[in-house]
Amino acid sequence: MSARSAIRRAVALGVGSALPSRILTNEELAKTVDTTHDWIVERTGIHQRHIAAEGQMTSDLATDAARAALTMAGMDVGDIDLIVLATATPDQTFPATATRVQHNLGMSHGCAFDVQAVCSGFVYALTVAAQFIETGKARGALVIGAETFSRILDWSDRSTCVLFGDGAGAVVLRGEDGTGTTADRGVLSTELRSDGQHNASLYVDGGPSTTGVAGHLRMNGREVFKHAVRNLAEIGEAALAGAGLTADDVTWVIPHQANARIITSTAQKIGIPMEQVIVTVQDHANTSAASIPLAMDVAVRDGRIKPGDLLLLEAMGGGFTWGGATIRW
């Protein structure tokens, strides 16, 4: 346990999630694109994904997730003065989806903004919010990952459309004084990376200043895969080292849920058994920025994650971006 002077910690007090009610199974998808349930399961671990209803926006899912997280925390919007929302599928080009969530929650104080780091978005948003709280700039924060990737998929491209789904997850953070050791509750470390040279491996072929329309997701899956395990293992280890912890200290790993093979290989590389890894990719597919808080919510509500547990988060996505964090729950 590393001894540090007393510091302000960003303590996670609640988590919540929201999924559209419509479930799209692999079998159903195989009726419209040239794929099979067996191929998808073998290559990715995915069995199904949730798809937003017509008119159901990223902000709607985000608002539901935020409300559930506030309820678990026993807090209301009066306790929140910061909303950081990670999304690559905002309701509108501007303003930020976070401001729509703020309005939906009946909140007109504090500040709300989006961060864009695609699948690493939640770890980026958590890092930003934790910094605000640790410096005293914010007292309470909602950190949200929310996506409607179904809106940017090319449903005729079997190499991408089978991989993604819609959903949202949210965590409530509150500033509390810690002793400065790794026994403190709250965010203990965060590490972020990006490398823009990989744009062509994972991107959306549109945008306001290029085509003027939203565009569709394009990915060289094999290329992304190649970098994913290396980057995720590196960032996981960096997040542990940043807090003065090792793999032995970890209770649960909550990885970005893109592919079961990536999750397994990364856990092996870091040296953490799969029994300690939260896996929800089979049920949600890849929900980009929403995947980590969605998985966290599942594991908190089913009783696996308990107060005092040490969580290791790791994510990697378009940019490339990647990030890791340790949190004592």
Active site residues: 119, 256, 286
Amino acid at 21: S
Q: Is 319 left (phi over 0), alpha (psi -120 to 50) or beta?
A: left
Give me the least distance between CB of 40 and ligand UT7, in Å please.
Answer: 6
173 vs 262 by CB, closer to ligand UT7: 262
Specify the residue for token string 């349930």: 37
134 vs 147 by CB, closer to ligand UT7: 147
Which of 11-19, 156-164, 172-180, 245-253 is the region at the interface with ligand UT7 (rule: CB under 6 A)?
156-164
Is 222 an interacting residue with respect to ligand UT7 (CB under 6 A)?
yes
Exactly one of 17, 44, 87, 102 binds ligand UT7 (CB under 6 A); that residue is 44
Which of 90-98, 101-109, 181-189, 221-229 is the region at the interface with ligand UT7 (rule: CB under 6 A)?
221-229
Exactly one of 43, 218, 269, 301 binds ligand UT7 (CB under 6 A); that residue is 43
- The string over 71-108, giving b where at least 16 C-beta atoms fall within 10 Å of a residue's C-beta and e elsewhere, is ebbebebebbbbbbbbbbbbbeeeebbbbbbbeebebe
Which of 39-47, 99-107, 145-153, 299-307 is the region at the interface with ligand UT7 (rule: CB under 6 A)?
39-47
Give me the least distance between CB of 119 and ligand UT7, in Å please.
Answer: 4
Residue nearest to ligand UT7 (CB): 221
Q: Alpha-carbon distance 326 to 311, whole Å?
A: 6
Is 117 an interacting residue with respect to ligand UT7 (CB under 6 A)?
no
Q: Alpha-carbon distance 37 to 302, whole Å?
A: 27
Q: Which residues contact 248 (CB under 8 A, 6 or more apart)?
A: none
Is 158 an interacting residue with respect to ligand UT7 (CB under 6 A)?
yes
Is 152 an interacting residue with respect to ligand UT7 (CB under 6 A)?
no
Listed residue (279, 282, 272, 234) closest to 254, CA to CA: 279
182 vs 286 by CB, closer to ligand UT7: 286
Exactly one of 23, 39, 265, 301 binds ligand UT7 (CB under 6 A); that residue is 39
Give me the least distance between CB of 82 and ligand UT7, in Å please.
Answer: 26
Is 159 an interacting residue with respect to ligand UT7 (CB under 6 A)?
yes
Q: Alpha-carbon distance 11 to 34, whole Å?
A: 46
Q: Is 303 left (phi over 0), alpha (psi -120 to 50) or beta?
A: left
Amino acid at 303: G
Exactly one of 143, 228, 243, 285 binds ligand UT7 (CB under 6 A); that residue is 228
**Binding to ligand UT7 (CB under 6 A): which residues in 254-293?**
258-259, 262, 286
Is 46 an interacting residue with respect to ligand UT7 (CB under 6 A)?
no
Which of 13-21, 145-153, 180-188, 220-228 is the region at the interface with ligand UT7 (rule: CB under 6 A)?
220-228
- Kindly report each contact of residues 101-105 with a partner whose C-beta sits within 8 Å and lies 24 or more positions away, as own/partner: 101/59, 101/62, 101/63, 101/66, 101/142, 101/144, 104/59, 104/60, 104/63, 105/63, 105/66, 105/67, 105/77, 105/80
Which of 7-15, 79-87, 89-97, 155-163 is the region at the interface with ligand UT7 (rule: CB under 6 A)?
155-163
Exactly one of 225, 247, 269, 301 binds ligand UT7 (CB under 6 A); that residue is 225
Q: Alpha-carbon distance 172 to 78, whole Å?
A: 13
The three-state secondary structure class of 242 is helix
239 vs 262 by CB, closer to ligand UT7: 262
With beta carbons less than 8 A apart as the criterion, state whether 325 and 190 touch.
Answer: yes
Q: Which residues bind ligand UT7 (CB under 6 A)?
A: 35, 39, 43-44, 119, 158-159, 162-163, 221-222, 224-225, 228, 258-259, 262, 286, 317
